[in-house]
Amino acid sequence: MIFVMDGGAKDSGEPAKERASRARPERALISIVAPCYNEGEAIGPFMTVLEPILDKMTFDYELLFVDDGSTDATRVQLEKLVEENPRVKAIFFSRNFGKEAALTAGLDHAAGDAVIVIDTDLQDPPELILDFVEKWREGSDVVYGKREERAADTMAKRLTAEGFYRLFNRISAVKIPENTGDFRLMDRRVIEAIKALPERSRFMKGLFAWAGFSAVAVPYSRPERAAGTSKFNLWKLWNFALDGIISFSTAPLRIWSYIGAVVALFSFLYASLVIIRTLMTGVDVPGYASLIVLILFFGGVQMISIGVLGEYLARLFVEVKRRPIYVVDEVIGGDKAAS
């Protein structure tokens, strides 16, 4: 391995810095990784836009589709693409494993000197690929698309996304750039660093940021979906956000010691007050309201803290089982056979 790993004991919290320019090979292979789940309607328009752009590129390319257990015409479409274009390769999962697993499979199978991750619904404008590759050629290891404007998203989605990024970056040692999706180019060295991460719970945006290296942003405005519908509903997004935070921060786990300490301090003060008052004015029986309020309040606090323990324990359980992140049904196309 060419890079140094310190077991993740100390995550670098600093943003990636500009580093000395790194020479790129004259002849390089660029891998495009495109996860798709029920994108039968979107793949056609996606290829129409993408192919001419890739042909304009000075480097050779391979186009890697990861079919995340689609139940629509996606498979048929991909089989057709593989026949038409020898640079297209398709990996079919045995069932739906989720976008993070699909991305992981794409990175595992990509052979390129640089890998570009892109959605198949044209929400990540393919024309940016040329800028990405140019920036990579100039020496950047990571080039990511930054959404300057999210008019295509609802107000609620924008606000919750903003809140999530703010909270994540406050409590996690690894910082993720705001308004950045998975759409990015990564150098081979970055890919190798990410491939070395063994965790099952894969919050890719966090893993990308964890790897570090020099990064530059290319701003763009995110268009509406070309066809089909979003695969992420509110519940899925909530779980995704929870996964991200819990995988990258232990703050929710540790905060209870502090909350407990503060509560204990207040109860001590309140107890002293009650004792002094009882000594001075005698026993007073009324107090049902304050008692029940306190009992309910602390019951709630305890439930929450046990719930947080459960969240970590559940993820620990998943990690300990060490199940594979995805199961491949079949790999077709490309020069190489199934790996």
Task: Specify the residue, 75 or 99, whose C-beta has the smaller distance to ligand UDP.
Answer: 99
Rounded to an integer, what distance in angstroms lies between the CA atom of residue 168 and that of residue 164? 6
Cβ(40)–Cβ(73) below 8 Å:
yes
Cβ closest to ligand UDP, residue 134 vs residue 178: 178
Q: Is residue 40 at the binding interface for ligand UDP, with CB under 6 A as the rule?
A: no
Distance, in Å, from the CA atom of 32 to the CA atom of 61, rounded to the nearest integer, reads 7
Q: C-beta of 35: minimal distance to ligand UDP in Å? A: 3
Q: Which of 16, 36, 91, 216 binds ligand UDP (CB under 6 A)?
A: 36
What does DSSP assign to residue 333?
E
Residues 6 or more apart from 207 whose CB is under 8 A from it?
194, 197
| Phi/psi of residue 185, nearest 5 degrees | -110, 140
Our finding on whether 175 is near ligand UDP (CB under 6 A) is no
Q: Which residues bind Mg ion (CB under 5 A)?
A: 121, 123
32 binds ligand UDP (CB under 6 A): no
Residues 237 and 159: their CA atoms lie apart, in Å, by: 13
Q: Please report whether residue 230 would count as binding ligand UDP according to CB under 6 A.
A: yes
| Per CB under 6 A, 326 contacts ligand UDP | no
Rounded CA-CA distance 112/101 in Å is: 19
For position 71 contacting ligand UDP by CB under 6 A, the verdict is no
Stretch that binds ligand UDP, among 15-23, 34-42, 132-140, 266-274 (CB under 6 A): 34-42
Which of 31, 77, 104, 123: binder of ligand UDP (CB under 6 A)?
123
CA–CA gap between residue 176 and residue 250 (Å, rounded)? 16
- Which residues here bind ligand UDP, judged by CB under 6 A? 35-37, 39, 68, 96, 98-99, 102, 119-121, 123, 230-232
